[in-house]
Amino acid sequence: MSSKGGHSFQAVMLILFSFSGVFAFGASNGDNAAKLARLSLEVQRVEDLRAVKRVQIAFAQYLQFGLWSEAASLFAENAEANFGGQDLKGRAAIRTYFLQFCGGHVEGLPTGGLYTLLEDSPVLNLSADGQSAKGRWHEFVMAGRYGGSARWEQSITENQYRKEEGIWKITRVDTYLETAGPYETGWVNAGPDIKLVPFHYTPSEAGVPIPPIPEDFNKMPHTRSKGSTFAELSRRIQAMNDEDKVTNLQNAYGYYTDRKMWDDASDLFSSDAVLEQGDIGIYSGVQSIRRSFERMGPAGLQFGQMNNHLIFNVLVSIASDGSEARTRAITFNMLGDYKSGTASLGVDVMQNRFVKGTDGLWRIREMRVFPIMATDYYLGWAKSRLITPPVAVAYTPDRAIPPGDKGTLTDGAIPDFVFENPATRKLVAYGQNAKIVGRGRLLPAGAGKHPALDAPKDLLNGIADAERRLSLSVAYLAADNISHALGNYIDDQQWHSLGLLFAKDGWRAKFAVAFCVGPQHAEECERNYDGVATLPRVFATGHWLIQPVIDVARDGKSAKMRHRLLHIDAAPESRGFTDGVFPNNAAKLEDGVWKFDVAAPDQPYFTSPTYKDGWARKAAPENQVRRIPRNNSIEPLRNFPPDVPRSTMPIRYHGTLPGDVISWPEIKPMWFAYKNPVSGRTPPLYCADLKTCEKELEKKTSSSTH
């Protein structure tokens, strides 16, 4: 067990509580004050790990607009970083690096400049004392300038953080470049031997992002300035629960729009909602918003239609009274039509306001989408700039956008940063000549405020329920953590570690073939199906699990997860993109560690035959990418029969079974494990539990045929 995670194997295994709702250790014989003090520390530790995530995402968002000084301010004064092979010491040196090598010695991007950093798939771990943390991230960079050059880069970073006077800052960044290359040829390996990046965590540590409080917790440093009354702690717990719900809603919207599920997407808006399309206009009310979606075509994807809007870098803030939330996110757009041979890439900034109704449900009240880059896929952002064409009369917006909101696509305008810098606690400072859009509100603030949370009559029961509610947000972090750890282990073919992510009865699915049950079988299944890693490592892949929708059970002991799979593949020649979805993943607590109950991808929904041909052209045979054979002489699964053949689920896995394969540009079915989070609408393809839904689908099919 590595010591790099900040806590030992013994500390992890000696779980003093299960985050399932009862933090009993050291409190059962104490008074309410002692229990309240422990709850205060638990709340702080969960907030701290979320603050670490916030710092890193803010870093990516600042770099996107050349806010080099703001990005450098997120580092501790004596921080160390390795960027571009350069070892930097101190915040001042880091700022100088950004200015010289990224900004051309000035704040801000040059005219036509692009520096979008997609930062996601984190595995985060708080130290036992709560004063430091570590994180592993995937980074994907699109850099260059219209009229100049364009470049891709893909890296893994292993970062360290420390809490200084109550503020989290980055103390060390180690960047490991995996793939890179000019736009014309795509990303390729960053050298003939891609070294494995050291992990700061083990499989068990991935499932315990926040370690148990040491026994003598009263001596641990923690801040009481936010208040330790029950009402204040309850409010802070509610804010984290709400943050998770808003994140789910934001990401669910993305899945619905990708599949042109216009009714489900419009269900997520409040009745008075507005949608601002930054280069088109403003649509007011749910019906008008629903009408605006039809600009992208009627409901339902048709043959060869690509409509992907991948959501990255989500920041969420909950209002102090709990009635409103704001988000700022980056979308990476992959659009096109196979029939016409057209494909495009784009980057948008999405700023949303959410409102919490009297029914307790969150809804989108304001959505503002600002295009930053749009380009013909076959030319790239250095040679092509696509401008949104005029809309047809049927989709005319209800009113024009505010005059000050124009220019994000052509003039380098910056969508307003609605959040304070998490390190300086000040509003973001823009350059002297920067043009800022998206300021202020489109709608007046809601009149209602939610009542304060008062101490319950029975404080002991109130604390127990608060602990249960806190466990929901811990579970959200843990379920996301192990999902990203899964992608990392697949990248590096670390099959033993991958197996240890699974519960004793956990199912690991292999594409089109099998489910293997339990840690040992999951490991053997991977080894038999995908072989073992060859040395030297001559190709690198990136399995990004992004855009989570995580529904945690009320007791905090299990969760259902949905993640998008973005597969970025490289070799001596770029292999381009492939995507999929993990729609039916599930996790549960097992011996105090979060582990997979199910991990099952549905893929690929599309794949590029080559980087050059993208998703809108059929590659000529001579242009097919040379596939590098792996060191594997075992016929897949011949010597290791599956525990549960996928063929036993012909309804659920229609389109992905031998003899029943639906491949791009045909549209593969997409399943959902949840109903619409606002309207409760059941999706056409609904499988709530992968282990049991086939029988339910059989009953439904049987009843519909009689």
Written as six digits, the tokens of 166 are 């109550």
pLDDT tens for each residue of 413-470: 999 998 999 999 999 999 888 999 999 999 998 865 565 566 677 888 999 999 999 9
Highest-scoring range by mean pLDDT, 156-170, 607-621, 636-650: 156-170
pLDDT tens for each residue of 619-645: 766 544 444 334 433 345 566 778 998
Q: Give yes or no for a contact between 423 and 161, defined as CB atoms under 8 angstroms apart.
A: no
Residue 273 has pLDDT above 90, yes or no: yes
In the numeric block, the tokens 């050298």 are attached to 191
Q: Residue 510: its pLDDT value, please?
A: 84
pLDDT tens for each residue of 66-76: 999 999 999 99
pLDDT tens for each residue of 211-249: 999 877 666 655 444 456 899 999 999 999 999 999 999
Distances (CA, A) of 588 to 208, 507, 554, 555, 559: 12, 12, 12, 11, 6
Q: How far apart are the first and last CA of the chain?
A: 58
H/E segment holding residue 13: helix 9-13
Radius of gyration of the CA atoms of the chain, in A:
25
Could you say which DSSP state residue 682 is in? P
Q: Residue 347: its pLDDT value, please?
A: 98
What is the Cα–Cα distance from 136 to 479, expressed in whole angstroms?
A: 15
Could you say which DSSP state residue 111 is in? T
Looking at per-residue pLDDT, the higher value among 525 and 305 belongs to 305
Q: Residue 131: its pLDDT value, please?
A: 96
Which of 519, 260, 273 is closest to 398 using CA atoms? 273
Lowest-pLDDT choice from 243-257, 317-331, 509-523, 625-639: 625-639
Q: Residue 411: its pLDDT value, please?
A: 87
Write out the CATH class of domain 237-459: alpha beta
Q: Give yes or no for a contact between 48 and 130, defined as CB atoms under 8 angstroms apart.
A: yes
Binning the chain into helix, strand and coil, the percentages to the nearest 5 are 25, 30, 40
Could you say which DSSP state residue 620 is in? P
Q: What's the per-residue H, E or C state across 505-546?
A: EEEEEECCCEEEECHHHHHHHHHHHHCECCCCCCCCEEEEEE
Q: Residue 449: its pLDDT value, please?
A: 57
pLDDT tens for each residue of 556-587: 999 999 999 999 887 777 788 999 999 999 99
